Each structure stands twice: as structure tokens, then as C-alpha cells.
Amino acid sequence: MFSNPQNNVERFGLILGTTVVDLGSGTGEYSLEAARIVGGGGKVYAVDVQKDLLSRLKQRADEASLRNIEILWGDVEKLRGTGLQDESVDAVILANIMFQVEDIEGLIKETLRILRPKGRIFIVDWQESFGGMGPQISDVINSEKAQELFSAHGCQKISEFDAGEHHYGLIFEKQI
């Protein structure tokens, strides 16, 4: 693995009782770490379009006795595709997903729809392509492009950090 989800999630500053959604959760490395931090009074929604990955995540959460993860099948690129209510979460995790989506604008709009005002967006993604390792160069949304996209949608960058050898980390706050 080229980034460390535990270290990265710790940098996000989640606290007990927080409601988080991990969009494009995959096998759930970030969901599991977030669930440990927010505790029983918090909630983590893990949303992915791949049902087999969600099944694996459910099994891993059960094995770790993490009862605060709710598995949701959904399309994170469509408005209302997550099935979550408007402004229902405190934080959104976008980890290694932006290079995979076909509709980045759709992903951003759904992220902002479900996020409460002053809520935070946690991004970890590939900085570039590395000779066949990671995504194709044409699919990469690097740190500068991510900042441009989220700023254009009214988000304020709070911080950035080194998220791994080939990854960047950004934290934004929804201003509206």
C-alpha cells in the first residue's frame, strides 16, 4: 500500500460522535479507521457501487466488532445517488476515488449536498501516474486540480498534507 489510511484519517481530526461518509469506500480501509475514531456515538456510512467490495467491508466490520458502519450501495456520481439526506453528515472521505469517476462534477455536487454547512471534505488521491503504477495519467486529478474544483464550488481549503509516497491529502470546509 502506498498510503497509510490510519495515519491519514488521524490527520483529519475526526472526533467522537461525528457522522462520516466514505464515498467510494471500496474494501473500507478508511471507513474502518473512521469508525474506530468516531466511536459508538458516531456513524460511518460506507458507499460504493461495487456490491462485492461492500460485502467484504461488512464482513471486516463485523469481525472488528464495529457496529457503527452502515453499508450503502449507491452511485456517488449522481445527485441523490447515495440515498443520504441533504446536509446529513459532518465529514466526507474521498480516498482514491477521484481518478476513478467519470463525472467529477457529479461527485462534487453529491458530496456538497449531503455535507452540513462547515462540514469537512477529506481527500486522499494520486498525485500523478508512476509508470504503470496507479491510475493512467489522463485520469489523475492532482492536488492543484482538486483545489481548483472544490474552491470553484465554494469550499475553503483548510490544510494539505503528505498522504503517502505517491498521494496528496487535502482538507476542505464547506462554506455554505
**pLDDT score recorded for residue 124:** 94
42-91: pLDDT as tens digits: 999 999 999 999 999 999 999 999 999 999 999 999 999 999 999 999 99
Sorted by sequence, the CB contacts under 8 Å of residue 97 that are 6+ apart come out as: 23, 24, 76, 107, 125
130-165: pLDDT as tens digits: 666 666 667 778 889 999 999 999 999 999 998 988
Q: How many domains does the chain have?
A: 1
CATH of the domain at 33: 3.40.50.150
Round the average pLDDT of the chain to a whole number and report it. Answer: 92
Q: Is the pTM of this model over 0.75?
A: yes
Instruction: Choose among 122, 100, 99, 112: nearest CA to 44.
Output: 122
Q: Which domain holds residue 127?
A: 5-174
Q: Rounded to 5 degrees, what angle do the CA atoms 35, 68, 122 make? A: 35
